[in-house]
Amino acid sequence: MHNSNRWAAVALFMALVGLPMGAFAEPTKLPVGYRSAQTLATQDASVLQVLEDQRISAQLHKDSWGNGLDEDSFDEPGDLVEHPLLNARLRLLSASGEVLASEELGYPLAQVEKAPIKGLPETVYFLTIDQTAPMGSYSGPATQLLLPSRQQLTPLNYKSADAKVEPLTLAQTGKAAWQIATPAEGGADELLQVSSFMDGDGDDDFATRFETYRFVDGQWQATSSQKAGYWDAENEFPARTAFP
């Protein structure tokens, strides 16, 4: 039966038995070349959906996460020359399957999860985009915060000490890491980010930055400090006292 005829028949049946149309809403179509890699129901009954190139299986996603995804990862790498990998997309769907918002994410792998941050007035979600390059230690998964009930797929911003407002992005690389921390004095959880980078002309000239993101007066705010020295992912995460 043709799709239009099929759904007309469904509509007639539901009208006869008194069911609302939303009870059997037509499934939301996927863009050509994509598979639904993840769906996550939100607190307000909407759904966050991650789409990835259909050539990236769930197992390949798992094996490649944080390791870099290149042509050697595929059984038929030659196909990527004529048909490069599609970048992941994030969609926000209503309970009935309507696409409320959609964003292309710039890289092939992504995932979403409910953020386990305590003390916030509303539930936020982590969107992590795997930006790992096949080589090097300065790239890796980058995490942003989403508030679908208010901002849909627009990432949350933070205000820096110099009053600049920018998207809050947390890096996990060979020379950067972050954690959620509960302040001893109470209040909302904080986000701690440590990162190390070249700071001079010599091979051993490194500096390490310590950043704290706090939710204050309805907005994320950042403070930071910096000292000479090197940190990488093989080291223990710095003590809370290292952060401002």
Digit-coded pLDDT (tens) for 18-40: 444 444 444 679 999 999 999 99
pLDDT score recorded for residue 137: 87
Q: Provide the mean pLDDT of the chain.
A: 88
Question: Which stretch of 6-20, 142-156, 223-237 has the lowest confidence by average pLDDT?
Answer: 6-20
Q: Give CA–CA dist 153/141, Å, rounded.
A: 18
Residue 136 CA to residue 132 CA, distance in Å, equals 9
The model's pLDDT over 78-102, given as tens digits with 9 standing for 90+, comes to: 778 888 899 999 999 999 999 999 9
Q: Region 197-224: what's the mean pLDDT?
A: 90
Position 203 pLDDT exceeds 70: no
Predicted confidence at residue 27, as pLDDT, reads: 60
Q: Judge whether 158 and 213 are in contact, CB under 8 Å.
A: yes
Contact at 8 Å (CB) between 85 and 69? yes
